[in-house]
Structure formats: C-alpha cells, structure tokens
Amino acid sequence: MPKLPVLTAKEAEKMLLNSGFILLRSKGSHRIYFRNEERFVIPFHSNKSLHPKIVKSVLEAVSQDN
C-alpha cells in the first residue's frame, strides 16, 4: 500500500471544497463540511499536519462520486 501524503488542514479544506463539500459551520478549531447527507469534520490547527487517519478519510470522501 502506498504511503499517504502529508496534508495540512488548508490543503484538506481545498480538496473538500473542490469536490463539492460546503462549509456548514465551525466550532472552536474544528470546521464542519457537508455534502449529500455526508458530514466531515477537520481539526483546523495552523501549520500542523493532519493525522494519517484523517488524511485517509479526506481522500476517501473526495474520491467518492456524488
């Protein structure tokens, strides 16, 4: 299995928005995105990379068809 890329929250946000997610709301340092009954939460801490499990979830959400 290939290694997952290292993503920051800004990069993950850009990928989600380009794939049709909309920013629903934010609470504290977490931003909640929504698309077709699917909700996605990203912890938004500046200049920190996301945990590999979150990166994997982002890539799976982006790759799903609408």
Encode the chain (66 residues) as per-residue pLDDT tens digits. Answer: 689 999 999 999 999 999 999 999 999 999 999 999 999 999 998 889 999 999 999 999 998 865
Structure tokens at 25: 């709301």
Instruction: Note if the pTM is more than 0.85.
Output: yes
DSSP H/E element including 56: helix 52-63
